[in-house]
Amino acid sequence: MGKRTDNEENLKRYLERLAELQKEGNLVPSPDLPTDKLIQHLAAEGEKLLKTSKVIGKVQPKKNDKEKLSNALGLTSKNPYIRARIMVLQKYPAWRRAEIGRMEQAGDINNKFYEEFVHEIGIVGDKLSEK
C-alpha cells in the first residue's frame, strides 16, 4: 500500500514540476499525438528548454578533448622539440604521462625519471631537426 502512495506522490510532484516548467518556458502541454509525432514534439520542447536554461554556455570541454587539441597543435608545431615532446608522451602509458605532468606541475623535475624523459625528447628532437 505504501508503494501506491509513493507513486501517487511522485506523480503529483511530476505534474507540479511540469506545470512550473510550462509557465517558465511558455511551453504548451503535450498534445495527444501518435508516438512518433509525440517524440518529435517532446524533443522540440526539450531543445526549447535547453536554450532558455542557465546551464547552456557553462559546458566545459573534457580534459581529454583539451589533451587531444594540445597534441594536435604540438604535432604541427614548427619547433621539432615540441613535436618530439608530444611524440615521446604519446608513446608512454597513461600512468607515466600523468606522473610527468605531476612532476612538472609540482616543480619536482630534479630526478632520474624526468631526466630520462628530457633525454628522450632531445634524441627525438635532434632527429626531427635534421629532416
Give the domain ranges of the chain.
2-52, 63-130
* Cα-to-chain-centroid distance, residue 90: 20
Residue-level pLDDT at 104? 87
By the 10 Å C-beta count (0-12 exposed, 13-18 middle, 19+ buried), 117 is classed as buried
Tell me the per-residue pLDDT of 52-63, one tens digit each, with 9 for 90 and over.
665 555 555 555
Tell me the per-residue pLDDT of 5-55, one tens digit each, with 9 for 90 and over.
677 887 787 778 777 777 776 556 566 666 667 677 777 777 777 666 655
* Residues 120, 115: Cα–Cα separation, whole Å: 9
Instruction: Round the CA-based radius of gyration of the chain to a whole number and report it.
Output: 27
Task: Judge whether residue 96 has pLDDT over 70.
Answer: yes
